[in-house]
Structures are given as structure tokens and as C-alpha cells.
Amino acid sequence: MAGRQRTGTPTLEDVAALAGVGRGTVSRVVNNAAGVKDSTRRAVERAIAELGYVPNHAARSLAGRRADAVALVVTEAEWRLFGEPFFAETVRAVSDALADSGMHLLLTLVRGAAERRRFVEYARGGRVDGVLLVSAHGGEPLPDMLAELGIATVLLGRRSADEPVSYVDVDNVGGARTAVRYLLGSGRSAIATITGPLDMYVAQCRLRGYREALGRGTERDAAPAPGAPDDSWVAEGDFTEESGRRAMRELLARHPGLDAVLVASDTMAAGAVHALRAAGRRVPDDVAVIGFDDFPLAQHIHPRLTTVRQPVDEIGRALVRLLLEELEDSAVAWRHVVLRTELVRRDSA
């Protein structure tokens, strides 16, 4: 291969052929993305050095009408949600994952039909190469509108069990189920839950895990198992601290003897702990509390919060990897990635 003759500027395809890998693998190495074996990465780097290949983002942008920009789109109606750790942690993780790719990150809020139409026209005009979409509620049409235009799109989470668009999600059912089983194993028997907004699949899945652990089965089951709690043990929140406080007060009014609560986010769990304290209940002595996320907030709540950890950095890397692969090869099929969760035991349960 040392005597190989070639003319012209080496391309990504030339590097792939010399290294014996696919074009997408070369792209991941060039963009320093995760998911490439060390031996494969070394082979690609040797091919790059031998061929003298230099990634030229500006030339690629002109030749392929690329904008070298990715839009991170949040489909929420309320600006106040940007004060929630979930959004800040997501932006940080995605920004870190894109840092070496040469791509700009544009943050966009889509709050309704008019902003949705404007964003679609903006994307149609070639101003972004791809879209990462966060916090899509059930029935949100934006992913389908972008797919119809052929714009690479990856969701954080999914709108339903049958989501057709590429997504990165976590095992929300398993995480909630593990948390409730831990509470049962520690002697708790009157366990309530505070959900997220139930028009979101993530909230439905965490509720399903709660029900399965308590013998209720799936949401399609017609009746609970003997001894399983009815729906009066469920209160709906909207992932904000105030909704956690309100939902906890509702649950205490319905069931003064409850001794544990699974809360579908750390932010709502902070509100629940405040409500319990205001009602004279000790955490965890009287009521154990488990959250969901394991953002830095969890260690600043008193007592420190037992919670279900989402691997936010891994989520960011997976979102970016899927999007970059789709940008490099538009024929790549939609892919679905589900990451594991982990119960982190601290002081609140």
C-alpha cells in the first residue's frame, strides 16, 4: 500500500477503503465520537496519515451546502422550564459531545404552531444540518415534519412505544421498577408516586415501572393485583419543583399514612421533600423519597436524595453520534438506543 498511486485530494471514502472500514466509522473517528474500538480508531488514523487526508469543514459546507450547525430544539410552552436542571444538563452534555466536531450548536425553543412553522422553514432553508429534539410530548408533529423534508433528526426520549424517528432514551420502566422494589425491600408498604405530565411517554413509562413493581402489571391490565394501590396513590406533576410540592400535599391529604414516594424527577422530589417537612414528616424516618435523574441538585437536597441515575453524558454522546452518522450517510436507517439506569442510594431512602 505504501506504493499506492493516487491523484487529487484524498476523500473520506479513500480513508475508509484504505482502513477497511465504513464511511461512517471514519466520520466518527474524525469527529472524535464515542463508540469506535481502539484498534479500529488506530487503523483509521494510520490511513488518514498515509493519505494526508485533512477534514475541511468549510469546503464540505460549500460543496454539500452544509451549514455546520446543529439545532437543539426544546418543544416546551414555558420558559420557566429552562430553570430546571434537565435542560441545563442536556445542553451541557450535547455541547461537550459536539466540541470536536466543528459543528455549531443552536438552541431553539418551539412553543406552539407558529414557532413550529417558522422553525421548519428555517431548517428547510439549509440553515442547520440536523436537529436534536428534546422534551417532545405525545402528538408533537415536528419530528415527522422534519423527516418529510429529509432533515436528519434524533430525539431525546420518544413520543410513543412505536416511535419511527431515531432516538436515544433510557430504561424508564426498569429504573422506576428497581426503585420501588428497593423501597419494598427496605420495609416500606404504603408507596405513592408523583409522575411527570402523562402526555409524555417518559412519564407513562416511569408510572408503568411503579405499577409493575407493586403488582399492578402493565397499564393495559384491567385490574390491579391483590394489595396493589389504586390510582389515588398517583399524583401528576409537570417536572417542576412547585408541582412536586403540590402533588405531595395531595397525596398526604388522600393517604396520611403513606411511608414512601417515588418521584419522577429530582426537581419534583425537592418540592416533595419541602412539602413533607412543612407537614411535619421526617425524611426518611417517616417517609422515604426517591427521585429520578441524579443531576447535581440531588446532592444539595437535605437529606441527600436517593435517585435513579440517567447517564446524561452518555446520552449526549449517543445523540450526537447518531446525528453525525445520519449526516454522513443519509441512507442510514432510523436507530433506537436505550441506555441503562442505576439506582443511587443516599440518605432520603
Better-scored residue on pLDDT, 41 or 221: 41
Pairing, β 342-344 against β 104-109: unpaired
Residues 182, 297, single domain; the answer is: yes
Is 90 exceeded by the pLDDT of residue 63?
Answer: no
Q: What per-residue confidence (pLDDT) applies to 82?
A: 64
Better-scored residue on pLDDT, 35 or 263: 263
pLDDT in tens, 289-344: 999 999 888 999 999 999 999 999 999 999 999 998 888 776 666 789 999 999 99
Residues 79, 22, single domain; the answer is: no
Q: Please tell me the distance from the alpha carbon of residue 245 to that of residue 261, in angstroms, as a whole number.
A: 12
Residues 187, 277, single domain; the answer is: yes
Q: What per-residue confidence (pLDDT) applies to 229?
A: 64
Residues 280, 199, single domain; the answer is: yes
Is 80 exceeded by the pLDDT of residue 252?
Answer: yes
Q: In what order do the strands lie in the sheet with 167-170?
A: 104-109, 69-74, 130-134, 152-156, 167-170, 336-339
Most confident range (mean pLDDT) of 149-163, 219-233, 236-250 is: 236-250
Residues 29, 100, single domain; the answer is: no
Q: What per-residue confidence (pLDDT) applies to 7?
A: 46
Enter the pTM of the model.
0.77
The grid coordinates listed for 208 are 408503568
What is the three-class DSSP state of 19? helix
Could you tell me what percent of the chain has a pLDDT over 90?
Answer: 57
Number of structural domains, the chain? 3
Is 80 exceeded by the pLDDT of residue 68?
Answer: yes
Residues 276, 154, single domain; the answer is: no
Is 70 exceeded by the pLDDT of residue 8?
Answer: no
Q: Please tell me the distance from the alpha carbon of residue 287 to that of residue 348, in angstroms, as a whole number.
A: 8
Is 70 exceeded by the pLDDT of residue 83?
Answer: no
Residues 203, 285, single domain; the answer is: yes
Q: What per-residue confidence (pLDDT) applies to 102?
A: 80
pLDDT band at 272 (very low <50, low <70, confident <90, very high): very high
Residues 49, 71, single domain; the answer is: no
Q: What per-residue confidence (pLDDT) applies to 322?
A: 92
Q: Is residue 25 one of the residues assigned to a domain?
A: yes
Strand runs (DSSP E) across 160-259, as ranges?
167-170, 191-195, 234-236
Q: State CA 88 to chain mean position distance.
A: 12
Residues 257, 242, single domain; the answer is: yes
Average pLDDT for 153-168? 93
Residue 294 lies in domain: 172-309
What is the three-class DSSP state of 7? coil
pLDDT band at 58 (very low <50, low <70, confident <90, very high): very low
Residues 138, 239, single domain; the answer is: no
The CATH number of the domain holding residue 207 is 3.40.50.2300
Of the listed ranges 79-83, 91-95, 171-175, the least confidently predicted one is 79-83
Burial per residue of 144-162, b for 16 or more beta-carbon CB atoms within 10 angstroms, e otherwise = ebbbeeebbbbbbbbbeee
Beta bridge partners of 108: 73
Average pLDDT for 190-204? 96
Q: What per-residue confidence (pLDDT) applies to 150?
A: 84
Q: Is residue 251 one of the residues assigned to a domain?
A: yes
Average pLDDT for 240-259? 96
Cα–Cα distances in Å, from 94 out to 84, 89, 233, 269, 319? 16, 9, 36, 25, 7
Q: Please tell me the distance from the alpha carbon of residue 313 to that of residue 295, in angstroms, as a whole number.
A: 11
pLDDT band at 55 (very low <50, low <70, confident <90, very high): low
Residues 192, 81, single domain; the answer is: no
Is 60 exceeded by the pLDDT of residue 267?
Answer: yes
Cβ–Cβ < 8 Å for 19, 47: yes
Q: State CA 43 to chain mean position distance.
A: 32
Is 80 exceeded by the pLDDT of residue 30?
Answer: no
Average pLDDT for 235-245? 95
pLDDT band at 67 (very low <50, low <70, confident <90, very high): confident
Q: Is residue 275 one of the residues assigned to a domain?
A: yes
Domain-ending residue, one of 35, 55, 75? 55
Residues 292, 195, single domain; the answer is: yes
Q: Is residue 243 one of the residues assigned to a domain?
A: yes
Q: Is residue 60 one of the residues assigned to a domain?
A: no
Q: What per-residue confidence (pLDDT) applies to 125?
A: 85
Number of helices (H), then strands (E), belonging to the chain: the values are 12, 12
Cβ–Cβ < 8 Å for 181, 188: no
